[in-house]
C-alpha cells in the first residue's frame, strides 16, 4: 500500500534517491522496484542496543529527509538518532515533538493507501517542484515481479506435485495478528470440500496451496487432515507454512488462479499482483484496508462491535467472521474463477 506514494515521490522528484528502511520480515516486498534506490533491512524486534546500532548504520547514508509511513514513536526516534532532522509523519504515539512537519490525519473513511499518499503530498508541498498541488494521483501498487520470480513460483508448484493444467488456488487461512481476523478452520474445511467436489471454474483439476508462518504449520496440517477425511482419495492440498520465504510466497501467489484470505499482508500482495481475490473481513473495515484490484470480492457482515483491535475475539461465536457462511464464500469462488482467462504466460524451463 505504500508503493503508490513512493512512485508519486519519484515522479515529481526524478533526481532524488529514495531508500526504504524496512523490517527484515517484509523487505522482500520492496525488491525490484525501479523507483527505490536500495532497501535497508532493519531488525524486526528492537532492543536498546540494536536501535543504537541501526541508527549508526543509517547515519552513514547522510539522509536529507525522512518520511515515516509507520505511526510509531520508535520509528521517529530511530530516524532522529540517525541524524535525519527533517521528518515528515503523522503526529501519533506522542512523537509530535520529533517531527519537522506534523501531517494532518485523513478522515477515517479513506483507504490506507491514501494515508501514505497524503504523507508524500505533504513532503512535496515543501520539497517538490514549484506550483505543486496535492492530489490523489493513482500510481501503481504493483510489486516488482520479475520473470525469474514467476518461474520460481511455477517450479515450486511443480516440485510439490501440482498439476499445472488445473486450477491453482492459494489460501492463507490463518493470521499472524491473531484469531480475531480468522474465518475458522471448520469453515475452510467446508469450503474446500465443496471446491473439490463441485470443481468450480472451467477445469476438472483443483490444486490448493496453503500459506502461513512456521507457527501456523500445525494448524494447517490439522485443517488438511480434516479435509482429507471427507474423501476416499486425498485431494491435492499442500501446506507451505514455514517452508517458503516471503519472496518465494510472492512467487507462488503470482501463479495462482485465485487467492483466498483475510485482511493480511499476503492478501495485499495478491491484490497488488491483480490475482482474482476473495477477502474475508470481520474486525477490520474493507474501505480502510480492503483489496483495491478490480477482480476481487470482499465478504463482510458488519457487526455492532466492529471495528475492533482485539487479537482474540472476546465474544462467543466470533460473530463478525462466523456470520460469513460457506455458501457465500463458495459463490465468491465460483464467480472469481470465472474471471480467469487462460494459463500462465510463464512455462518453467525444467518442469
Which helix (H) or strand (E) segment holds residue 171: the answer is strand 167-172
- The pLDDT assigned to 342 comes to 46
Handedness of CA 119, 127, 5, 33 (dihedral sign): negative
Pairing of strands 19-23, 237-239: unpaired
For residue 341, is pLDDT > 60?
no
What is d(CA 190, CA 83) in angstroms, rounded to the nearest whole number? 55
Give pLDDT, residue 46: 86
The whole-angstrom separation of Cα 78 and Cα 95 is 11
Measured distance CA(257)–CA(337) in Å, rounded: 7
Give the CA distances from residue 69 to residues 34, 115, 332, in Å, rounded to whole numbers and listed in that order: 19, 8, 33
Count of CB atoms situated within 10 Å of the CB of 208 = 25
Q: The pTM is what?
A: 0.92
Mean pLDDT (whole number) for 279-305: 94
Which grid coordinates are listed for 195? Answer: 471446491
Query: Comparing 343 with 268, which gets the higher pLDDT?
Result: 268
Element (H, E) at 346: none
Residue 21 has pLDDT above 50, yes or no: yes
Q: What is the dihedral of CA 151, 154, 156, 160, to 10 degrees?
A: -160
Mean local confidence (pLDDT), 75-79: 96
pLDDT (mean) for 265-288: 95
Tens-place pLDDT, residues 92-143? 999 999 999 999 888 888 899 999 999 999 999 999 988 788 888 889 999 9
Average pLDDT of every residue of the chain: 92
The whole-angstrom separation of Cα 228 and Cα 242 is 21
pLDDT reported for residue 340:
63
Ordered DSSP codes for 49-87: HHHHHHHHHHHTT--SEEE--S--HHHHHHHHHTT--EE
CB proximity list for 100: less than 8 A, separation 6 or greater: 65, 85, 86, 87, 88
Burial of 209 (0-12, 13-18, 19+ CB in 10 A): buried
- In sequence order, which ranges of the chain are alpha helices (DSSP H)? 3-12, 48-59, 73-81, 112-127, 147-159, 185-198, 217-228, 246-254, 265-272, 286-289, 319-322, 326-337
Mean pLDDT of 221-248: 94
Give the chain's domains with CATH numbers. 3-127 (3.40.50.2000), 147-337 (3.40.50.2000)
Residue 330: per-residue pLDDT: 97
pLDDT at res. 9: 96
Nearest-CA neighbor of 168 among 263, 254, 227? 254
Q: With bands split at pLDDT 50, 70 and 90, how would you rate the model's confidence at 253?
A: very high
- Measured CA to CA, the distance from residue 282 to residue 304 in angstroms comes to 11
CA distances in angstroms from 102 to 82, 125, 232, 250, listed in the order given: 19, 13, 62, 35
Amino acid at each position: 500500500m505504500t508503493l503508490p506514494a513512493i512512485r508519486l515521490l519519484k515522479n515529481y522528484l526524478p533526481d532524488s534517491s529514495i531508500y526504504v528502511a524496512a523490517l527484515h520480515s517484509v523487505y522482500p516486498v520492496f525488491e525490484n522496484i525501479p523507483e527505490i534506490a536500495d532497501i535497508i533491512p532493519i531488525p524486526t524486534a528492537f532492543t536498546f542496543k540494536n536501535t543504537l546500532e541501526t541508527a549508526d548504520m543509517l547515519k552513514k547514508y547522510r539522509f536529507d529527509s525522512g518520511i515515516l509511513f509507520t505511526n510509531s514513536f520508535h520509528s521517529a526516534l530511530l530516524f532522529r538518532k540517525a541524524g535525519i532532522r527533517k521528518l515528515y509523519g503523522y503526529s501519533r504515539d506522542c512523537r509530535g515533538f520529533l517531527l519537522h512537519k506534523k501531517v494532518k490525519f485523513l478522515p477515517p473513511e479513506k483507504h490506507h493507501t491514501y494515508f501514505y499518499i497524503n504523507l508524500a503530498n505533504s513532503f512535496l508541498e515543501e520539497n517538490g517542484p514549484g506550483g505543486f498541488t496535492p492530489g490523489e494521483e493513482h500510481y501503481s501498487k504493483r510489486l516488482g515481479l520479475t520473470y525469474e520470480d514467476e518461474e520460481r513460483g511455477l517450479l515450486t508448484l511443480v516440485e510439490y506435485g501440482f498439476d499445472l493444467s488445473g486450477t491453482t488456488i492459494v489460501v492463507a487461512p490463518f493470521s499472524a495478528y491473531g484469531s480475531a481476523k480468522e474465518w475458522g478452520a471448520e469453515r475452510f474445511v467446508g469450503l474446500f470440500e465443496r471446491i473439490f467436489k463441485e470443481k468450480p471454474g472451467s477445469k476438472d483439476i483443483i490444486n490448493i496451496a496453503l500459506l502461513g508462518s512456521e507457527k501456523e504449520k500445525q494448524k494447517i496440517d490439522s485443517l488438511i487432515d480434516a479435509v482429507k477425511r471427507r474423501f476416499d482419495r486425498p485431494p491435492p492440498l499442500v501446506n507451505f507454512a514455514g517452508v517458503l520465504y516471503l519472496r518465494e510466497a510472492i512467487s507462488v501467489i503470482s501463479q495462482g488462479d485465485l487467492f483466498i484470505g483475510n485482511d493480511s499482508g499476503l492478501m495485499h500482495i495478491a491484490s497488488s499482483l491483480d490475482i482474482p481475490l476473495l477477502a474475508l473481513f470481520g474486525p477490520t473495515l474493507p474501505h480502510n484496508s480492503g483489496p483495491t484490484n478490480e477482480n476481487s470480492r470482499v465478504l463482510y457482515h458488519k457487526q455492532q462491535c466492529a471495528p475492533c483491535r482485539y487479537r482474540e475475539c472476546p465474544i462467543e461465536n466470533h460473530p463478525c467472521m462466523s456470520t460469513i457462511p460457506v455458501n457465500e464464500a463458495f459463490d465468491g469462488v465460483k464467480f472469481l474463477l470465472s474471471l480467469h482467462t487462460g494459463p500462465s504466460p510463464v512455462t518453467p524451463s525444467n518442469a
